[in-house]
Amino acid sequence: MTAAVQGTCAPEFENVRAEFERNFAERGEVGAALAVTLDGESVVDLWGGHADADGARPWQRDTLVNVYSTSKGMTALCAHLLADRGELDLDAPVSRYWPQFAQAGKGDLPVRWLLSHRAGLIGPRERLTPEDVYDWEKTCAVLAATEPWWEPGTAQGYHAVSFGFLVGEVIRRVTGVPLGTFLRTEITEPLGADLYIGTPASEHGRCAQLIGPDGGGTLSGAFPGLPDGPVRSLDAHPFAPLAIAMGHLPMGDVNSAACRSAEIPAANGNATAHGLATVYRALADGELVGPGSLAALRERQSRPDEPDLVLDAAAPGSLPFAWAGGFMLNAFGYFGPNKAAFGHGGAGGSLAFADPENRLSYAYVMNKFGGSTTGGDLRNLALVEAVYASPELARRTG
C-alpha cells in the first residue's frame, strides 16, 4: 500500500525517508513512525499510514502504540537510574528489597540476574489468567513463591513477561511507587518524552490499533506451535521454554482498555517514536546516568556463545544472543555498525536503541505485527542501514 508520509527529515537523511516510504509500498506496513537524533538534535521525525486496520484514522505524530518488549529497555533504565543514585545495589539479593522473594530457595539471588534474564523465573508454574496478570500484587506474589526452572545464574533464558514484574517490583519496593509512576515522574516527564507503562485512560484515544497476525487485535497465531495447557518441564515440548515464558501474556484483545491501563512493564508500554528516541538520546548524551553507570548497564552478562533457553526454543539454531543489564547488545549488527550500541526490540517489529559513541538514538514504532523482538525485522533493517549510510555517519563509522 502507499501512504502519505509526514514530518521532517534533515537533507542528508532523505534516503531514510525513501526507505520509510518503501515500508508502506513494499513491506506491508499499515501505520508507523520513525525518529532519529544525532548530536542531540532531531534529524528524522516521520510518520505515516493509519492507526487502525480500516484506514479511518490517519497516524499522527502523537499516536501512541504498544511496543511490546521495547518496553523492557525503559524498565531496565529505571533500575539503572536507582543504581546510579546509590539507592539500589544490583549485586545485592533481591530479598533485601523484597523479602517475600526469598521463598523457594531464592534468598541469595541478586538483582543483576533479574535484569540479565538469568534468574530462571521465566514464568509461574501454573498459568495465570489475563485478569491475574492485570493484578500487580497477585502476579508478584505468585512469582515470589515460584521455584526457578533452572539453577539461577547458570543459564540465560528470556523472561519475556516476568521480567517486568520482577524488576518492577524491586523498583516499587525501593521507591514506594509503581514502576509506571517512577518512569513518568523521574524520566519521561522531565524529558518531555511521550511514553507510558500503564497508559492513563485519558490517553487511550491516541493509541493505535495493534493489528495482529489474525488481522484483528489479538495475538492469535503470533507464536505458532506453542503447546496448549500447562507445561510442567523445560523439555516437555520443543517450545516448552517459550510457552512458559509467554504463557502469562494476555493473548486476547491487546487493544482493550484493561490491557492498555495495566502495568505489564515487559510487554505493554505505549509510546511514540519521538518519545522513545528522546529517552535514548538522553542516554546517548549522558544525561540520565553517569559514565560509570552507562558502561555498567551495557556490560555483557552472557557468556560467549551461550544459548538463550527461550529464544533458542523460538528459533532453533539462531545465533547466540547477548544480554546486558536489561538491554539487548548489538550481537547481530541490527543496531548499526557500532557493536557497543544497545537497546531493545519488541514483538511485532518495534525497535529503539542508543549509539553513544556516535551520539545517535533511533526509534521505530508500528501497528502491523511483523518481525521479531531482536530488531531483525526487514522494516528496521532497511531503515537502520539507511540511517548509517548518511554522509556524516558514514564518515564517523568508516
Contact in structure between 198 and 177 (CB atoms under 8 Å): no
**Most confidently modeled range among 1-5, 59-63, 332-336:** 59-63
For residue 318, indicate whether it is catalytic: no
**Most confidently modeled range among 65-74, 233-242, 364-373, 376-385:** 65-74
Residue 232 pLDDT: 82
Rounded average pLDDT over 247-260? 85
Rounded average pLDDT over 238-243? 87
Return the higher-pLDDT residue of 117 and 223: 117
**Mean pLDDT, the chain, whole residue set:** 93
Q: Specify burial of residue 84 (Cβ count, 10 A radius: 0-12, 13-18, 19+).
A: middle
pLDDT tens per residue, range 152-167:
999 999 999 999 999 9
- Alpha-carbon distance 280 to 392, whole Å? 20
Which residue in 203, 178, 204, 159 sits closest to 69, CA to CA? 159
Residue 280 has pLDDT above 80, yes or no: yes
Residue 299 pLDDT: 96
Residue 360: left if φ>0, alpha if ψ -120 to 50, beta else—which one? beta
Residue 302: left if φ>0, alpha if ψ -120 to 50, beta else—which one? beta
Residue 184 has pLDDT above 90, yes or no: yes
Residue 63 pLDDT: 98
Kindly report the number of other CB atoms within 10 A of residue 236's CB atom: 14
Q: Confidence band (pLDDT; 50, 70, 90) for 236? A: confident
pLDDT tens per residue, range 78-88:
999 999 999 99
- Alpha-carbon distance 328 to 331, whole Å? 8
143 Cβ partners below 8 Å, 6+ apart?
Answer: 121, 124, 162, 165, 166, 169
The beta strand positions in the chain, using DSSP E, are 5-9, 31-38, 41-49, 65-66, 195-196, 270-271, 328-329, 342-345, 351-355, 360-366
- Alpha-carbon distance 326 to 113, whole Å? 9
Rounded average pLDDT over 60-67? 97
Residue 351 pLDDT: 97
Name residue, grid cell 531482536.
Answer: 374
Contact in structure between 168 and 265 (CB atoms under 8 Å): yes
Return the higher-pLDDT residue of 71 and 372: 71
Rounded average pLDDT over 355-369? 96
Q: Kindly report the pTM of this predicted structure.
A: 0.96
Residue 288 has pLDDT above 80, yes or no: yes
pLDDT tens per residue, range 308-333:
999 887 777 666 789 999 999 998 89
Q: Specify burial of residue 22 (Cβ count, 10 A radius: 0-12, 13-18, 19+).
A: middle
Kindly report the number of other CB atoms within 10 A of residue 129's CB atom: 11
Which residue in 392, 395, 396 sits closest to 12, CA to CA? 392
Query: Which residue among the candidates 42, 69, 95, 302 is catalytic per the annotation?
Result: 69
Lowest-confidence region among 51-60, 105-114, 129-138, 305-314: 305-314
Residue 7 has pLDDT above 80, yes or no: yes
Residue 370 pLDDT: 85
Name residue, grid cell 491487546.
Answer: 254
Residue 333 pLDDT: 92
Which residue in 190, 186, 189 sits closest to 200, CA to CA? 189
